[in-house]
């Protein structure tokens, strides 16, 4: 039986935009206007389609398949409209724009190419001798002359053009279209052939690929669980302790699934740079074992741009001039001649071909097997990769979501939006000397006036049922601002206006998502400004829609407790899987104790409590020379305790480091490097719980032998937290748990997890708050914390001393310890 040929699919739009793109990279003009016209243009599409008459067909699906030696190329799309003009069938493509239509002499080439593809496919399938192509451009504006006055039936006729609508009608013989279309497919063929040959070699390399290390306890079950989840197109929630090798245990089965046709691309999504590095290492290890797999890590524009500040236009950036004339050659060479797509490699290739490195990495990402990137590239409506996740698109994607506990707050932020009244006034003041015109000024005034109405009705924080009327004002302002930006491409205030425009557009787009999972409220910011906020309380619905664009998703973390809470925050499914991976670490190598005499409640924060906390810290530190960290819920408490500790327990043999707010990258590195050194003195780092040093850092072995977690991590009480609590109370849940206790305990678990990173690590963990004795908190402890004991300051020295004495006794000779370290260093799991 002949093997079924592989099908390679591409949309008409992607085909023409990729093959026929040329000219400058210019995010400040042209493309900006067209891109941001899409949403407003939808309303115009519907206007025109309704006025075309009874024989007019709107949104016509079209598919063309062409068989090659190794695969079948499937080209698909949807024509905006089709109608009969005598004996000729006409395909219509409708585009909204902010351009001056009177100055347009011909259609945009890529737009025309899209319509010609539809015309050829329909003509071929229906045996037409010729086809008509009608390009219709409509002006997007507001007020009496624009969208608020619908187009008339006379205006939408193909022979009619004026300042607000323009038509370009042309007739093509089918052989002419056929030759043109085949040349287009021939240009695409080399890319499709590359994709086919590469994936064939990639899949073959996976046939005998084995897990690269001996399985640890629980690891085999995790690998099997991830694999089965992908096969069944489900979602999986994994609670697994730090150090078990979660990254390799998820990457390996995902890659094997892709090799067996159960997925075509892996997205490894992270919240922090450090976890992206670990994912890169996992892929590298598998490649050393024979895997052929192309993966790229996406980097923020600011870190890729050759300019001090990104300016994506040919005026400011020399690489933007003619970028699209060179980019395809640069991408093809990199794909066919390179096997490494690091940031450095992308920068070198971009320099060689004189193209934008930020855009180059995205184009390469379209062809590789794995993409390692931040959450926002898959989920954030303002910055997600439209080539993969545009509305209505779907792929056989596998999502691996690392440190998934971070996605609760990140999800809320990504799907929320805020408008500040003072920003509207600032832009109005900026535009005034530039004579923007009455319509733009009126639009700004209307928005400002409505914000003033909200302000007068607000005490400190006020919930609103709806702001639909205000949204209409926002959309009208958006259209006027877009027109101004299109007409003022070199204005010195353009950047500030553009930033306001993007924020306004984000507000409008987020409002389209508002449902029962949102709260709308007004409040005063810390600086006194007045804000209107669309607050996504539960991001599950929005995240689920993003996940549904792929095949399967795996959420994993060392702190995914309680799992039912995270399921409700990330998914709307009722049949998701969950795995709890037991810790493989010997509990006798860890001393875990609760300091029962300490309270960090706000009403108890006084000198007496600070002295208790400092005393507990001193007992832990004095028990053994080494490196320690103390984690606090706020800078204020950390500084208060630090001051008392220095006053009462300052020791020339103890060095203290204290985390500063807004530390630069170099300062962070220096802070961590101090723990990696072979210090002659004991080192203590005073850090913030939930901050940059409480998760995502790897201080194994002797780099960290003890940590004190001061407080239950409860977030600071504020208007938004209280709204969260009230919302979940109304939903039948425990609002305090959802708004305060669960987020706080996650910070506690993350901070405590810094101590034991490998099977050879030993250390002390102190939980300093009387609340940890309560059932509500003990139920949130991981299973491996069952041996936790409650201590007082008077009993703590003996507890810690006994622990270290036992550790020293069991560890044996120094030579034996070194031999064990050498053996395990070769088996460090990614």
For residue range 326-349, what is the model confidence (pLDDT) as tens digits? 999 999 999 999 888 999 999 999
Where are the strands (E) in 276-411, listed by range?
295-297, 370-374, 397-401
Q: In this predicted structure, which of 48-62, 649-663, 670-684 has the lowest mean pLDDT?
A: 48-62
User: Which has more confidence, 308 or 124?
Assistant: 124
- Average pLDDT in the 570-586 region? 93
Distance CA 426, CA 700 (A): 51
- Average pLDDT in the 174-181 region? 97
What pLDDT, on a 0 to 100 scale, did the predictor assign at position 149? 59
User: Which has more confidence, 479 or 211?
Assistant: 211
pLDDT in tens, 690-746: 999 998 788 888 999 999 999 999 999 999 999 999 999 999 999 999 999 999 999
* Long-range contact set of residues 774-782: C-beta below 8 Å, sequence gap at least 24: 776/737, 776/741, 777/712, 777/741, 777/745, 779/562, 780/561, 780/562, 780/741, 780/742, 780/745, 782/239, 782/241, 782/561, 782/583, 782/749
Distance CA 496, CA 509 (A): 20
Domains 222-293+371-415+539-584 and 587-803 share a fold: yes
**CATH class of the 222-293+371-415+539-584 domain in this structure:** alpha beta
pLDDT in tens, 482-522: 888 888 888 889 889 999 999 999 999 999 999 999 999 99
Non-local CB neighbours of 749 within 8 Å, separated by 6+ positions: 558, 559, 561, 782
- Confidence grade of residue 2 (pLDDT, cut at 50, 70, 90): low
What pLDDT, on a 0 to 100 scale, did the predictor assign at position 141? 58
- Average pLDDT in the 527-539 region? 97
Distance CA 678, CA 626 (A): 9
Q: Is the pLDDT of residue 35 over 70?
A: no
User: Which has more confidence, 156 or 768?
Assistant: 768
pLDDT in tens, 52-105: 878 899 999 999 999 999 999 999 999 999 999 888 999 999 988 877 788 888
Q: In this predicted structure, which of 19-28, 523-532, 539-548, 632-641 has the lowest mean pLDDT?
A: 19-28
Residue 479 · residue 141 · CB < 8 Å? yes
Residue 687 · residue 657 · CB < 8 Å? no
Half-sphere exposure (Cβ direction) of 587: Cα atoms closer than 13 Å: 12
pTM over 0.85: yes
pLDDT in tens, 740-770: 999 999 999 999 999 988 888 999 999 999 9
466 secondary structure, DSSP code: -
- Average pLDDT in the 204-212 region? 94
Is 6-191 CATH 3.40.390? no
Q: Is the pLDDT of residue 458 over 90?
A: yes
Domain ranges in the chain are 6-191, 222-293+371-415+539-584, 311-368, 421-536, 587-803
**CATH class of the 421-536 domain in this structure:** mainly alpha
Q: Is the pLDDT of residue 627 over 50?
A: yes
**CATH class of the 587-803 domain in this structure:** alpha beta
Edge-to-edge, what's the strand order for the sheet holding 461-464?
A: 417-420, 530-536, 518-524, 461-464
- Average pLDDT in the 185-209 region? 94
Q: Is the pLDDT of residue 567 over 60?
A: yes
Residue 190 · residue 332 · CB < 8 Å? yes
Distance CA 11, CA 77 (A): 6
Residue 478 · residue 506 · CB < 8 Å? no
Residue 75 · residue 117 · CB < 8 Å? yes
Question: SS3 for 545?
Answer: helix
SS (H, E, C) 90-116: EEEEEEEECCCHHHCCCCCHHHHHHHH
Q: Is the pLDDT of residue 146 over 70?
A: no
């Amino acid at each position: 039986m002949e093997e079924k040929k592989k099908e390679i699919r591409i949309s008409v739009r992607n085909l023409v935009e990729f093959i026929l793109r040329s000219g400058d990279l210019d995010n400040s003009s042209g493309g900006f206007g067209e891109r941001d016209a899409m949403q407003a243009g939808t309303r115009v599409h519907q206007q025109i389609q309704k006025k075309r008459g009874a024989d007019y067909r709107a949104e016509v699906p079209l598919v063309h398949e062409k068989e090659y030696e190794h695969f079948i190329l499937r080209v698909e799309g949807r024509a905006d409209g089709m109608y009969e003009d005598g004996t000729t069938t006409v395909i219509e493509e409708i585009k909204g724009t902010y351009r001056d239509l009177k100055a347009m002499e011909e259609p945009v080439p890529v737009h025309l190419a899209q319509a010609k593809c539809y015309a050829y496919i329909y003509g071929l399938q229906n045996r037409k001798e010729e086809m008509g192509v009608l390009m219709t451009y409509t002006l997007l504006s507001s007020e009496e002359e624009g969208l608020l006055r619908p187009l008339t039936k006379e205006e939408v006729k193909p022979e009619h053009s004026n300042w607000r609508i323009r038509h370009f009608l042309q007739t093509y013989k089918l052989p002419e279209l056929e030759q043109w279309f085949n040349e287009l497919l021939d240009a695409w063929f080399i890319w499709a052939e590359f994709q086919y040959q590469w994936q064939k070699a990639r899949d073959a390399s996976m046939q005998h690929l084995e897990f690269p290390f001996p399985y640890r306890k629980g690891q085999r079950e995790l690998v099997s669980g991830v694999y089965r989840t992908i096969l069944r197109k489900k979602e999986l929630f994994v609670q697994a302790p730090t150090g078990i090798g979660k990254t390799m245990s998820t990457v390996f089965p995902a890659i094997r699934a892709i090799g067996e046709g159960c997925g075509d691309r892996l997205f490894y999504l992270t919240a922090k740079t450090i976890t992206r590095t670990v994912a890169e290492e996992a892929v590298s290890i598998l490649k050393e074992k024979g895997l052929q797999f192309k993966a790229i890590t996406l980097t923020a524009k600011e870190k890729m741009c050759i300019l001090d500040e990104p300016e994506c236009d040919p005026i400011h950036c020399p690489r933007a001039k003619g970028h699209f004339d060179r980019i395809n050659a640069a991408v093809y060479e990199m794909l066919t001649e390179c096997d490494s797509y690091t940031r450095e490699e992308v920068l070198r290739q971009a320099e060689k071909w004189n193209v934008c490195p930020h855009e180059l990495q995205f184009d390469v990402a379209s062809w590789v097997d794995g993409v390692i990137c931040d959450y926002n590239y898959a989920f954030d409506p303002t910055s997600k990769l439209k080539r993969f996740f545009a509305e209505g698109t779907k792929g056989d994607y596998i999502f691996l979501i690392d440190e998934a506990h971070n996605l609760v707050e990140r999800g809320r932020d990504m799907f929320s939006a805020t408008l500040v009244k003072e920003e509207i006034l600032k832009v109005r003041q900026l535009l005034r000397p530039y004579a923007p015109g009455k319509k733009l000024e009126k639009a700004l005034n209307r928005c400002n006036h409505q914000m003033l109405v909200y302000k007068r009705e607000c005490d400190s924080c006020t919930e609103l049922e709806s702001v639909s009327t205000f949204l209409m004002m926002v959309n009208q302002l958006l259209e006027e601002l877009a027109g101004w930006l299109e007409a003022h491409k070199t204005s010195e205030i353009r950047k500030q206006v553009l930033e306001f425009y993007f924020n306004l557009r984000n507000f409008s787009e987020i409002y389209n998502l508002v449902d029962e999972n949102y709260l709308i409220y007004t409040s005063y910011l810390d600086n006194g400004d007045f804000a209107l906020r669309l607050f996504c309380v539960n991001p599950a619905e929005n995240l689920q829609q993003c996940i549904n664009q792929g095949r399967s998703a795996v959420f994993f973390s060392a702190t995914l407790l309680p799992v039912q809470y995270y399921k409700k925050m990330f998914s709307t499914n009722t049949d998701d899987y969950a795995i709890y991976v037991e810790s493989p670490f010997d509990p006798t190598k860890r001393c875990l104790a609760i300091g029962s005499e300490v309270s960090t409640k706000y009403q108890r924060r006084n000198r007496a409590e600070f002295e208790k906390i400092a005393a507990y810290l001193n007992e832990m530190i004095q028990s053994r020379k080494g490196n320690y960290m103390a984690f606090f819920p706020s800078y204020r408490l950390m500084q208060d305790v630090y001051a008392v500790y220095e006053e009462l327990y300052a020791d020339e043999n103890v060095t203290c480091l204290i985390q500063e707010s807004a530390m630069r990258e170099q300062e962070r590195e220096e802070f961590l490097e101090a723990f990696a050194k072979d210090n002659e003195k004991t080192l203590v780092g005073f850090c913030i719980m939930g901050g940059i040093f409480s998760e995502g850092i790897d201080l194994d072995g002797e780099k960290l032998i003890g940590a004190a977690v001061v407080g239950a991590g409860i977030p600071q009480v504020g208007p938004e937290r209280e709204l969260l609590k009230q919302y979940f109370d109304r939903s039948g849940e425990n609002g305090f748990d959802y708004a305060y206790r669960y987020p706080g305990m996650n910070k506690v678990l993350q901070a405590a997890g810094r101590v034991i990173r490998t099977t050879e690590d030993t250390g002390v963990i102190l939980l300093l708050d009387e609340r940890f004795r309560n059932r509500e908190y003990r139920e949130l402890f991981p299973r491996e914390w069952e041996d936790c004991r409650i201590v007082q300051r008077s009993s703590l020295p003996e507890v810690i001393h006994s622990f270290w004495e036992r550790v020293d006794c069991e560890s044996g000779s120094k030579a034996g310890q070194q031999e064990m370290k050498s053996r395990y260093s070769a088996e460090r799991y990614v």
